[in-house]
Amino acid sequence: MKIKLHEPTLTFRHEFTVRFSEVDMMKVAWHGSYVLYLEDGREKFGAHYQGIGYEDYFRTGFVAPVVNLQIEYKQSLKSGEKAIVETRYIYHPGAKLIFEYIVYRASDMQEMAIATTTQVFVSPEGEMQYTCPEFFEEWKNRWLPK
Amino acid sequence: MKIKLHEPTLTFRHEFTVRFSEVDMMKVAWHGSYVLYLEDGREKFGAHYQGIGYEDYFRTGFVAPVVNLQIEYKQSLKSGEKAIVETRYIYHPGAKLIFEYIVYRASDMQEMAIATTTQVFVSPEGEMQYTCPEFFEEWKNRWLPK
Amino acid sequence: MKIKLHEPTLTFRHEFTVRFSEVDMMKVAWHGSYVLYLEDGREKFGAHYQGIGYEDYFRTGFVAPVVNLQIEYKQSLKSGEKAIVETRYIYHPGAKLIFEYIVYRASDMQEMAIATTTQVFVSPEGEMQYTCPEFFEEWKNRWLPK
Amino acid sequence: MKIKLHEPTLTFRHEFTVRFSEVDMMKVAWHGSYVLYLEDGREKFGAHYQGIGYEDYFRTGFVAPVVNLQIEYKQSLKSGEKAIVETRYIYHPGAKLIFEYIVYRASDMQEMAIATTTQVFVSPEGEMQYTCPEFFEEWKNRWLPK
C-alpha cells in the first residue's frame, strides 16, 4: 500500500549525516537505519514544539509507543551524505499521535523516503488511553492554530 | 492503514531471543529492532528455500532492496524473551518479492506484531528490473506449487 | 596491550546466534557487535547468579557504568553461526565489578575473541562509590566461595 | 589497564551529534555507541588523508580488520549533545594501523572517552600480512613527515 501524505499542521526539519555504521553491504544507508532517522526527527520536533518531548513523557509517566510504522524507500543515501528529515505533525481528533516524514538528500533536496508513524498513549498504570491525556491537550492548545 | 495479511504460498518459522541491547527505555524490544527480526526471518527463509539467499544475490550480482516496509505493533516483547518470526512468501506475478511476517511470543504464541515488506530487483548494472531475473524464475519453478 | 585473562571466581556460558544485521561488509560479525555479545553475557550471568541483574540496579537505584572495555579479536564469526560467550567474574576487593569474557565459535569451541570490562558503582544521587554498595556486598556473600 | 596516549603523527577532528537511538536506559550515550563514533572518526580521517579510506580497501582488495579495541570512559554524553572525535594516527614501523582517539563534549571540550584500535592487513586471498601492503606504503610516503 502506497503512503499518501497529508497536509501537516506543524513541521520541523533536522539535518543529519549518514553514519558509516548505518550503511549495509550495498554501501547505502540500511533500510532499518531510517527508523533511527524518524525517531531523531520526532525527538527534534518535540524539542522544538515543547511539551511532547521525552522529558514530558518522563514527567507525566505517560508513554507513547509506536503502534504503526510504514516507510517507502525511493532512492538511497550513501555513507557520509547529508540528509534532512522533515517531521510533519498530522492532526487527528482522537487519542493518537500521527507523524509523517520526508527524508531528503541535502545536496539536491530529492526525496529519499517518505514515512508515517502512529503512536498511542499509555498511562503510568499501563492502560491504553481512549481520550487524550491532559499534557497532550495542553500541547495542542499551545501549538495548534486556532 | 491496517495491514491485511494474505494467504502465504511458503512459510518458515525461526525462533530468536530478544537481546538486552534491543530493548528501549521502556524495557521492551525497541520498535526499530523488529526490522532486524524481519531481516533475520527473510534470511532464514532464504536459507531454507534455497535460491534466494544472500549468497544467491552475490553470485548473480542482483540485489533486492526493500522499497516498502510496514509494521503493526500489538504487544511488547521483554528482554530475554523468546519469540518466533514467521516469514510468509506472498505470491506476486510481477518482478517483486513480497513477504509478510507474524512475530509471536514463544511462550504463548500471542501475536506481538505483523509486518510486510516489498523488494524489487536491481541488476548488477544498477537498473531496476521490470521482469523477474532468471534466478528468481528458477526459484519459483523449484519451490512454488504447480 | 594484550589482554591477560585471570582466574575467574564464577563463570556462566550463554549460546547465541550471529544475526545478519550484525555482520559488516566483510560478511563477518562487525567488531562493534561484540559489545552487544558481552552485554548479553553479563546480563545472563546476572540472571543466573541473582542479585546483580538489571532489576537489582533498578530496585536499589544504583547504576554500574562500564568505565573500561577491551576486546581482542582472534577469528571471525559468520552470519548465522552459533557462538558461546563465557562471562567470568574476576574478584576485586574494591568497589569495582570486573568481568572477562571468552567468545567461542560453538561448532569447534575455537576462541573468536577475549575481552574484559570494568564497571564502577554510582549512587542514586549520581556519586561514584569508593566502597561497595550494600547490595553488592550481599551478592558477594551469597555467591563467592568462603 | 589504563590507556596511555602516544604522540600522534596525523590527527583529524570530526563533530557529531549523539542520536536518541544511541542512548541507553540511563539516558546517556550507550558505551557500545562509542565503537560507531570511533569508526566514523577513522572513516573521516581516511577521507581527509586520502589513500586509506574504504574505497582504497575495495580497490586493492585488502581489508584491515580491527584486532584490538580499548575504550576508557570518563564522562557521559547526553542525547542530542554535540561531540567531537579526534582520530590520531600513531606511527608503527610494522604492518599495523594504530589509531588513538579522544572524544570531547563540544560545548566545553571536556574529555568524555579515550580509545585505541589496532588493525592488521589481510590480503585479497585472506592471508594476514607481515609486511605493509603497497597502498599503505604509498600512503605513508604521501602523508607522513619525512
Name which of A17, A20, A43 is nearest D20 (Cβ-Cβ): A43
Write down the pLDDT at residue C58: 78
Q: Does C33 score more than 90 pLDDT? A: yes
What percentage of chain C has pLDDT greater than the value 70? 100
> What is the SS3 assignment for A113?
strand
Q: Name the residue in chain D with its Cα closest to that of B26.
A: D25
Considering the entire predicted model, what is its pTM? 0.88
* Residue whose grid cell is 533536496: A109
ipTM of the prediction: 0.96
Name which of C17, C20, C47 is nearest B39 (Cβ-Cβ): C20
Q: Does C21 touch chain A (CB under 8 A)?
A: yes
Q: Does C76 touch chain D (CB under 8 A)?
A: yes
Contacts of B92 (CB under 8 A, 6+ apart): B98
What percentage of chain D has pLDDT greater than the value 90? 77
Q: Does C1 score more than 80 pLDDT? A: no
Write down the pLDDT at residue C146: 80
Q: Does D51 score more than 80 pLDDT? A: yes
pLDDT digit string, tens, across residues A113-143: 999 999 999 999 989 999 999 999 999 999 9
CA distance B80 to C16: 12
Q: Does B31 touch chain D (CB under 8 A)?
A: no
Give the mean model confidence (pLDDT) for residues C112-133.
Answer: 95
Write down the pLDDT at residue A80: 84
What length does chain B have?
146
Amino acid identity, position C31: H
Say whether A25 and C25 touch across the interface (CB within 8 A): yes
CA angle A53, A79, D82 (to 5 degrees): 40
CA distance D115 to C68: 10
**pLDDT by 10-residue block (mean), chain B, 146 residues:** 92 92 83 95 93 83 94 94 97 95 98 98 92 94 90
Q: Does A82 score more than 90 pLDDT? A: yes
Q: Does A54 score more than 80 pLDDT? A: no
Q: Where is B101: in which H helix or E strand?
A: strand B96-105
Write down the pLDDT at residue D120: 96
- Give the residue from C113, C109, C84 showing the smallest Cα distance to C12: C84
Which of C24, C28, C34, C36 to substitute to test the interface with A, most A CBs within 10 Å?
Answer: C24
Give the mean model confidence (pLDDT) for residues C9-15.
Answer: 96
pLDDT digit string, tens, across residues D68-106: 999 999 999 998 899 999 999 999 999 999 999 999 999
**In degrees rounded to 5, what are phi and psi of residue A78?**
-95, 160
Say whether A27 and C25 touch across the interface (CB within 8 A): yes
Q: Does A26 touch chain D (CB under 8 A)?
A: no
Give the mean model confidence (pLDDT) for residues A51-80.
Answer: 91
Say whether D66 and C31 touch across the interface (CB within 8 A): yes
> What is the SS3 assignment for C36?
helix
Beta bridge partners of C66: C119
Cβ atoms within 10 Å of B41's Cβ, excluding its own: 27
- Give the residue from B25, B120, B105 showing the smallest Cα distance to B73: B105
**D16-D17-D22-D23 Cα dihedral, nearest 10 degrees:** 140
Contacts of D90 (CB under 8 A, 6+ apart): D6, D7, D8, D9, D98, D99, D100, D116
Give the mean model confidence (pLDDT) for residues C28-47.
Answer: 94
Amino acid identity, position D56: D
Write down the pLDDT at residue A57: 84
Write down the pLDDT at residue A26: 77
Cβ atoms of D18 and D29 within 8 Å: the answer is: yes
Write down the pLDDT at residue A6: 95
Q: Does D115 score more than 80 pLDDT? A: yes
